[in-house]
Amino acid sequence: MPGVVRIFGVGRVTALANQKGGVAKTTSTLSLGVGLAELGRRVLLIDLDPQASLTYSVGLDPDRLDVSLHDVFVRRTPAENVLQHVRHLDIIPSTIDLAGSEVHLLTRTGREHALKRALTGIRENYDNILLDLPPSLGVLTINGLTAADDLLIPVACETLSHRGVGQLLETVDDVRAFANPHLIVRGIIVTLFDDRTRHAREIYEDLPTRYGLPVLSPPVRKSIRFAEAPSLGQSVLDHSPTSAGAEAYRQIARQIAAFDPDIELKGNNG
């Protein structure tokens, strides 16, 4: 959005979204959260997906939780009463009940601002708040984009994931127009990258010019370690700390942490 001026401070909210599922969005949210926590940042994760994959990945059982983000939206439970502390960081978890929250939110005035309002009292307690958005463009995703200061887009190097970026950016334009004019697209995280295939290399090379967005480096390569970690309730940084995937996310986390909160971002951002 040309001419945008935004100053980030404590509690910068970053959404991770791609309407195409299976692009390692949840893996990226958790891995970056742990990477930021390793740097001494105070980190909060928020699971906005009714599938609750992020909640499960940190070692919580969504079926056994007494309260979740659903209670924040429907019962107006204070967000601090829903927080769970898990090793390196805090999380506001999700359950399947969150699917019902969508229906409830549709009946409320100002529904797109529900998450932003819920975070008002706790933002100052964190340096980074990461939102794992569902693979859809519904009211939960709109809530996440409305609450966010910036957006990261995980993209697997395959055609359908590639197409989803354009559709998501159209939604970003809509959110800027009616709810959050300061939303900035920080860039693309390339996931599930296999440089042995020509198809993956071509998509990787095409991304910056096609969308005019920064592509954060390095790309995150495919690894069985990512599939193993959630069953242990761990991030790949815990499960396989010296792996190439863990190091890639650490490098990206350092880029996020190095962003100067006193610098103004100006000009065209997606």
DSSP string, 26-48: HHHHHHHHHHHHHTT--EEEEE-
CA distance 51 to 41: 27
The residue-averaged pLDDT of 117-135 equals 94
Q: Going by C-beta distance under 8 Å and a sequence separation of 6 or more, which residues neighbour residue 116?
A: 143, 146, 147
Alpha-carbon distances, residue 146 vs 117, 130, 177, 178 (angstroms):
10, 13, 11, 9
CATH class (in words) of the domain with range 12-257: alpha beta
Residue closest to 81 by CA, chosen among 67, 65, 61, 100: 67
Instruction: Output the pTM of the full model.
Output: 0.89
Q: Going by C-beta distance under 8 Å and a sequence separation of 6 or more, which residues neighbour residue 234?
A: 57, 59
Q: Where are the alpha helices (DSSP H) in 107-243?
A: 114-118, 139-147, 159-178, 198-211, 224-228, 236-239
Specify whether the CB–CB gap between 55 and 94 falls below 8 A: yes
pLDDT in tens, 26-81: 999 999 999 999 999 999 999 999 999 999 999 999 999 999 999 999 989 999 99
* pLDDT at residue number 130: 98
The domains of the chain are located at 12-257
CA distance 209 to 90: 37
Q: Going by C-beta distance under 8 Å and a sequence separation of 6 or more, which residues neighbour residue 96?
A: 50, 51, 52, 62
pLDDT in tens, 129-182: 999 999 888 899 999 999 999 999 999 877 666 677 888 999 999 999 999 999
Residue 151 tokens read as 């957006």
Query: Strands 43-47 and 84-86: what pairing?
Result: unpaired
Mean model confidence pLDDT for the chain:
86
In the three-class reduction of DSSP (H, G, I as helix; E, B as strand; rest coil), residue 22 is classed as coil
pLDDT of 93 strictly over 90: yes
**188 forms bridges with which residues in the sheet?**
153, 215
DSSP string, 41-96: --EEEEE--TT-HHHHHTT--GGG-S--HHHHHHS---GGGT-EEETTEEEE---T
**189 forms bridges with which residues in the sheet?**
154, 216
